[in-house]
Amino acid sequence: MSAASTTFPLQERDIPTHWVNLVPDLPEPPLPPLHPGTLEPAGPDDLAAIFPPAIIAQEVSGEPDVELPEQVREAYKLWRPTPLFRARRLERALDTPAHIYVKYEGVSPAGSHKPNSAVAQAYENAQAGVRKLTTETGAGQWGSSLAFACSLFGLECEVWMVGSSYDQKPYRRSMMQTWGASVHRSPSQLTDAGRAQAAHASGSLGIAISEAVEVAARDPAANYSLGSVLNHVCLHQTVIGQEAIAQLELAGEAPDVVVGCVGGGSNFAGLAFPFIRRVLRDGARTRFLAAEPAACPTLTRGAYRYDFGDTVGLTPLMPMYTLGHDFVPPPVHSGGLRYHGDSPLVSALVRAGIVEARAFRQNDAFAAALQFARTEGIVPGPEPAHAIRATVEEALAAREAGEPRVILLGLSGHGHFDLSAYDAYLAGELEDPEFSEADMDAALARLPQAPAIG
Amino acid sequence: MSAASTTFPLQERDIPTHWVNLVPDLPEPPLPPLHPGTLEPAGPDDLAAIFPPAIIAQEVSGEPDVELPEQVREAYKLWRPTPLFRARRLERALDTPAHIYVKYEGVSPAGSHKPNSAVAQAYENAQAGVRKLTTETGAGQWGSSLAFACSLFGLECEVWMVGSSYDQKPYRRSMMQTWGASVHRSPSQLTDAGRAQAAHASGSLGIAISEAVEVAARDPAANYSLGSVLNHVCLHQTVIGQEAIAQLELAGEAPDVVVGCVGGGSNFAGLAFPFIRRVLRDGARTRFLAAEPAACPTLTRGAYRYDFGDTVGLTPLMPMYTLGHDFVPPPVHSGGLRYHGDSPLVSALVRAGIVEARAFRQNDAFAAALQFARTEGIVPGPEPAHAIRATVEEALAAREAGEPRVILLGLSGHGHFDLSAYDAYLAGELEDPEFSEADMDAALARLPQAPAIG
């Protein structure tokens, strides 16, 4: 066993002072979101009902580096810098010459990367005099993160949790309440949207978004907060990749491939964008691999079109890979990856060939997660399990090629609240649902009118 | 908000190279354990049926510093050094001049300090050619930690989990299985002890110990492993306090008081023993405060007597504070603190007046835990919640005195698997059971024959 260093700790002073905005470095300017009625580009005014000015400025910023407010940086110190370690035990188990580095975001209070944006959003809303944030949550990661962030900045937090998750994951609900949030089972009786959808008792992310947006829009002291997809959320997450660059420099290595899972895209963006900027500016030779679930293969099977960000059609039209805004992904345990679309920025990078995408079956992802847990100790969340599977494939390809390739794996969170899925996997009872091309085709046929792209 | 440093990160090279054995520094040599039949001091031979030679040597060592095997130190690198941070947000919430430093062991794969000893025990057993470790677990922390440790060193792991916990905490069971352990609901049909106790369907720690010991004793390739109480377990945990000393030096501070929770005593010993050695050697002025549950107040209300370490009377007689080996503590959520006795070393330090003990009610502990979660982010386990309550009292006393006292809090683990208890607390439905003096008196009347001590 090697006695060489396996972790590369940073100090608090190494927490980034700026977020990386990739927009000004892109080969082509990103397509604008469109107002669904006029099909004209949607501007800052279209967002002002639910977002504070500073967040809107971040959403549309053209600056390459966006300064991190000092109080956000102070809050980041509660868990950042996060660890980067070399997974030598996994390397040995795979008998690979590859060097596998893991950037681990599961040390945050909520257990994933989500607080990086939740803290930034809660801070800017508190600065703007907002008193309450509303949001939706599926599996509970985003709701937990926003509850935690609101507790730091003295904001009320009201979360609509998808009914089936509310029933199945009581401990994520307890965690939100521990941080002081109110949690409602969606559909609720508190909103028009909820009352109208009462028949859909198990709820959906789309209904929960509608409820949270409705409450934020009608209460002048309340705003809405979104946990992925949008530019400002991707921006906030770039502390991950910037720290990883510094830590890999301590290790004396540069990645041949950067691997992360993609649901709405903010985790992948946070890890990859700082590295992609180096590729675009300096011509560094790095591959970027986005891992998604075969049950919801947005980037590998979706259409590159303008579509709504939410299921019921409240948002501007976004240019992105989509399975259709009312496509309902089969129930897999990676709640964080069950999204019909993808971040417009990540979508554009896939379209441009800068980011590769690959889809993985749920059982294959859990097999890799189990191997990771038994070698490296950490029990991964089901979402990053897909990235672990991709990493294993890359490490085995390096063995085939006989090359000591450097792989950087983004491990976005732990699986402490997902052990029922491990239970099912260990019992051989984990479903491995198929993606339905017919359902996607039907959903794509219901896409809104909008200009063709790409 | 201060921009001063709040975390004090160490490098891998700072992981201690030796464990601190406090025995040679004690004012008086510790009393020996006794064979329950002969009442003669129990020697290494009495332990050889269930422990490997290296562990027995650690149990009875008179060396002040016991070298840490390199492979154990390598395994520690999976999560050590653990963080030490200053809890400035909690200080502000308490409006105290005290400086509160937190040493956090919840970053280990199993989520507590327990792997510090599990890894050391699994390694020594693997070195001795043992193929399987058996153990019991109540709440699941120790069983998870040993399952994890066995997965690192290629050992089988067989865990008897107290029946009521097995039913109520399925996710701790899943976690053990994820790391490859077999988990049996105790009482099981696999042992004489289990079959004899089948009528006690909800099980007990005592029955589970009996089952695990029985299987280890009858299988030459299997050994038994204990997660607290014994000298070697306390020894393994002293990496905690040694790191904390180095980290407080980075902070430029020395503690006025060191606070930890006590069940069997290994967590408290691990944090406090390295500091206590400095007091004993150099006359440093530091107080040591052991926090225990009012429902199981061993150190504050128990008798200092020879008693069995387990409920059914299989172990040597240990000199310790005890409520009686068949005293059944009321059901509180701090499963790790529901032990009738205490580490003989910790007991002797309380007897000598070097360590103070204080008991706290369950609801008071949860109130403090909630305040901690809402200021510092981390959701604490119910066990360290008692130490947080003690810390809050010390911080308020410092405010009364107008003194900037330095408090070091041992935060032994997170509460990700204990959120049902938070649920009950938030709903105002958390029981706050009373300790029964009558039950203790009856149990003390059933103590085995042994010399009086103290």
Pairing of strands B303-308, B156-162: unpaired
* A353-389 confidence digits (pLDDT tens): 999 999 999 999 999 999 999 999 999 999 999 999 9
Q: What is the pLDDT of residue B338?
A: 86
pLDDT, residue B2, reads: 40
User: Which of B209, B226, B243 is a domain's end point?
Assistant: B226
A82, A374, A420: best to mutate for the B interface, most B CBs within 10 A:
A374
Asked, for residue A24, whether it belongs to a domain, the answer is: no
A192 touches B at CB < 8 Å = no
Q: Residue B152: is its pLDDT beyond 90?
A: yes
Q: Is the pLDDT of residue A2 over 70?
A: no
Cβ of A416 within 8 Å of Cβ of B111? The answer is yes
Contact B75, B155 (CB under 8 A): no
B251 and B104: one domain?
yes
CA distances from A454 to A288, A320, A349, A356 (A): 20, 10, 12, 17
Query: Which of A7, A177, A379 has its CB closest to that of B175?
Result: A379
Q: How far is CA A234 from the centre of its chain?
A: 8
Instruction: Report d(CA A322, CA B221) in Å as an integer.
Output: 57
* Averaged pLDDT score across all residues of chain A: 94
Distance in angstroms (rounded) separating the CA atoms of residues A212 and B47? 62
Instruction: Say which of A151, A175, A422 has its CB closest to residue B178.
Output: A422
Rounded Cα distance, B228 and B249, in Å: 29
What's residue B335's pLDDT?
A: 81
Q: Which of A77, A78, A178 sits opposite B370 (nearest CB)?
A: A178
Query: Is A158 among the domain residues?
Result: yes
Cα distance between residue B302 and residue B441, in whole Å: 10
Distance, CA of B207 to CA of B213 (rounded, Å): 10
The ipTM of this complex is: 0.93
**d(C-alpha A213, C-alpha B28), whole Å:** 68
Query: What pLDDT score does B331 carry?
Result: 81
Q: What is the mean pLDDT of residues A331-352?
A: 92
Q: What is the arithmetic mean of pLDDT over A81-104? A: 97
Substitution target from A108, A116, A171, A376 for chain B, most B beta carbons within 10 A: A171
Task: Determine the residue type at A54.
Answer: A
**A433 is a domain residue:** yes
Residues A218 and A106 in one domain: no
Determine contact: A360 vs chain B, CB below 8 A: no
Comparing A321-330, A382-391, B231-240, B351-360, the range with the smallest average pLDDT is: A321-330
Same domain? For A357 and A402 the reply is: yes
Residues B244, B214: one domain?
no
Q: Are residues B286 and B186 in the same domain?
A: no
Closest partner residue to A1 among B74, B109, B151, by Cβ?
Answer: B74
B73: CB partners within 8 A, 6+ apart: B15, B17
Residue with tokens 């069940």, as numbered in its chain: B263
> Which residues of chain A does B420 touch, with a Cβ-Cβ cutoff of 8 Å?
170-171, 174
- With CB atoms and an 8 Å threshold, state whether A179 touches B426: no
Residues B276 and B379 in one domain: yes
Strands A99-104 and A84-86, sheet pairing: antiparallel
| DSSP H or E run through A123 | helix A115-127
**pLDDT given at position B4:** 55
Q: What is the CA radius of gyration of chain B?
A: 21
CB within 8 Å: B416 and A71: no
Nearest by CB to residue B373, choosing from A111, A179, A426, is A179
Residues B251 and B332 in one domain: yes
Using the Cβ of B368 and the Cβ atoms of chain A, whether some distance falls under 8 Å is answered with no
Asked if B7's CB is within 8 angstroms of A70's CB, the reply is no
* Candidates B8, B79, B178, B425, partner chain A, best to mutate (most A CBs within 10 A): B178
Give CA separation, B434 vs B55, B180, B362, B428, in Å: 38, 39, 10, 17
Q: What is the mean pLDDT of residues B441-445?
A: 94
Number of compact structural domains in chain A: 2
CB within 8 Å of A253: residues ≥ 6 apart: A99, A101, A406
Give the CATH number, domain containing residue B125.
3.40.50.1100
Average pLDDT over residues A68-80: 96
**How do residues A269-302 score in pLDDT, each as one tens digit?**
999 999 999 999 999 899 999 999 999 999 999 9
Q: What is the pLDDT of residue B275?
A: 98
* pLDDT of A3 strictly over 80: no
Instruction: Please report which confidence band the pLDDT of residue B49 belongs to, taking 50, 70 and 90 as the band edges.
Output: confident
Q: Rounded to an integer, what distance in angstroms lies between the CA atom of residue B380 and that of residue A369?
A: 26
Mean pLDDT on B79-101: 97
Residue A420 lies in a domain: yes
Asked which of B191, B208, B226 is the last residue of a domain, the reply is B226
B contact residues 71-100, partner A, Cβ 8 Å cutoff? 71, 74, 77-79, 85, 89
Distance, CA of B115 to chain centre: 11
Rounded to a whole number of angstroms, the distance between the first and last alpha carbons of chain B is: 51
Q: How far apart are CA A320 and CA A307, in angstroms?
A: 7
Residue in chain A nearest B172 by alpha carbon: A419
Contacts of B423 in chain A (CB under 8 A): 170, 174, 177
The burial class, CB within 10 Å (0-12 / 13-18 / 19+), for A237 is buried
Residue B208 sits in the same domain as residue B356: no
Asked if residue A294 is part of any domain, the answer here is yes
Whether B10 and chain A come into contact, CB under 8 Å, resolves to yes
The answer to whether residue B326 sits within a structural domain is yes
Query: Is B69 part of the contact surface with chain A (CB cutoff 8 Å)?
Result: no
Dist CA A259 CA A253 (whole Å): 16
Residue of A nearest to B9 (CA): A11
Interface A–B counts its CB contacts (< 8 A) at 122
Same domain, B298 and B430: yes
Cβ separation B373–A170 shorter than 8 A: no
Question: What's the pTM?
Answer: 0.95
pLDDT in tens, B375-426: 999 999 999 999 999 999 999 999 999 999 999 999 999 999 999 999 999 9
Determine which of A166, A174, A182 to mutate to test the interface with B (most B C-beta atoms within 10 Å).
Answer: A174
Quick: pLDDT tens for B317-341: 999 999 999 888 888 888 888 889 9
Cα separation of B166 and B38, whole Å? 37
Query: Which range of residues forms the domain containing residue B439?
Result: 79-111+232-445
Is B349 within the bounds of a domain? Answer: yes
Residue where a domain stops, chosen among B204, B226, B248: B226
Q: In this prediction, what percent of chain B has a pLDDT beyond 90? A: 82
Please return the burial class of A445, using the count of CB atoms within 10 Å of its CB with bins 0-12, 13-18 and 19+: exposed
**How far is Cα B251 from Cα B8, in angstroms, rounded to an integer?**
7
| A327 inside domain | yes
Distance from CA of A8 to the nearest CA of B (A): 8
Q: What would the pLDDT profile of A201-245 be if each residue is shown by its tens digit?
A: 888 887 898 899 999 989 999 999 999 999 999 999 999 999 999
The pLDDT tens digits for B366-380 are 999 999 999 999 999
Residues B89 and B238 in one domain: yes
Q: Are B94 and B177 in a shared domain?
A: no
* Whether residue B83 is found in the same domain as residue B132: no
pLDDT of residue A43: 84
